[in-house]
Amino acid sequence: MACQGLQKGETLESLKRESETLKKKLEEERNKLNDVELHQVAEKVEVLSALSIKTRRVLKGHGNKVLCMDWCKDKRRMVSSSQDGKVIVWDAFTLNKEHGVPLPCTWVLACAYAPLRSLCLIMNGYLGLDNKCSVIPLSLDKNENLAAKKKSVAMHTNYVSGCSFTNSDMQLLTSSGDGTCALWDVESGQLLQSFHGHTADVLSLDLAPSETGNTFVSGGCDMKANVWDMRSGQNIQSFESHESDINCVKYYPSGDAFASASDDATCRFYDLRADREVAVYQKDSIIFGASTCDFSLSGRLLFAGYNDYTINVWDVLKGTRATILFGHENRVSRVRVSPDGTALGSASWDSTLRVSWSFSTGSNYIFRFIKLLFWVNSRLVLEFTVAF
């Protein structure tokens, strides 16, 4: 096979030299603008008052590790997928299971709820034979055989690690172990755009919030987080500061930044307009990898699930840990804040899902006062009975 044509004067060495020079220039340009650290600027912000976020619901029903969960846009339904081969749609209010969709293979790695009532599933055959992403239109009719209506949309040459519908629900973005991401038309299954640049498995992707345009971020085993233009397929920004696989990437609610969770036991925060990492969320006592992360509605809190079974809640601005949620009895595989921001859903290898939220302190005092009243009342009843 003939060598690819070299431009005049270009050699492999000259290209490598130019590559090194550009990398240095990139580093210099970024450092010039690093005039202050985020946590220093954030000293002006009030310290968070003690958070009363606690796990208040446990959803049992899966028979094996829960690998993924997502919230429905109606704010009350959750969907989860498990190694037991089932996808369950839960009503998070009543804890009822609305649908149970059994699937032919056990490696349902991920699921996502589309804005308009359909469900996307990634199914990878045990021997890597499937590598497909399928879409199932969900109906409220419990008798419908949903598994029969599934439609294959995406196909990669290696396992599919993540999927997300675009805002219109008509396109699907996927990330894969084959090192690429791809954009598909849901109706026809046609590949619309592919994204090349990662040099190892891509493990996660997240779409920019709708107001800020057509970009998405991806992270993978090459320890890089890349930002892409969805229309052109161009990699517009790249961040390489993690020291191990990036398991999850998530945009900050304003779209100007994103966070990543990694096997190096840290979560990091990158600002897109400053084009650099602006915070690292870590502690000496945290030595297990972080597999998932999500922001609260205001972006002040970052929830991250770890392989030591905990969920650490970070103060995004100050860089400190605000609180820690215990309860899961195995690795936390996914955390997701509900669309209206009221609750945190978490999925785990312990085969349960948990829903956590916070009561305002006013309510706490009222509860305690009412409890006190009942106690006093019961004591009085006792006194009178004894007297007579």
Partner 1 sequence: MSSKLHPSNNITHARRTVNQLRIEASIERIKVSKASADLMNYCTENARNDPLLTGIPASDNPFKEKKPCTIL
Provide the token pair at 87.
């996808």
| Residue placing its CB nearer to partner 1 in the complex, 67 or 221 | 221
DSSP letters for 26-85 = HHHHHHHT--S-HHHHGGGSPPPPPP-EEEEEEEE--SS-EEEEEE-TTSSEEEEEETTS
What is the helix (H) or strand (E) element at residue 373, kind and residue range?
helix 361-387
Assess contact for 227 and 216: CB atoms under 8 A.
Answer: yes
The residues, ordered by sequence, that sit 6+ positions from 73 with a Cβ below 8 Å of its Cβ are 113, 115, 116, 339
Burial of 385 (0-12, 13-18, 19+ CB in 10 A): exposed
Shortest Å distance, C-beta 182 to partner 1: 14
Nearer to partner 1, 79 or 186 (CB): 79
| 3-class DSSP assignment, residue 211 | helix
What is the nearest approach in angstroms of partner 1 to the Cβ of residue 18? Answer: 5
Give the SS3 label for residue 311: strand
Q: How far is the CB of 277 from partner 1 (least distance, A)?
A: 10
* Residue 44 Cβ vs partner 1, minimum distance, rounded to whole Å: 7
Q: Quote the least distance from Cβ 157 to partner 1, whole Å.
A: 7
In the bound state with partner 1, the residue whose beta carbon lies nearer, of 79 and 221, is 221
Question: Rounded to the nearest whole angstrom, what is the least distance from the CB of residue 37 to partner 1 in the complex?
Answer: 7
Residue 119 pairs in a beta bridge with 113, 136
Tokens encoding 64: 């094996």
Our CB check for partner 1 shows the closer of 142 and 362 to be: 362
Nearer to partner 1, 318 or 331 (CB): 318
In the complex with partner 1, which residue's Cβ is closer, 43 or 329? 43
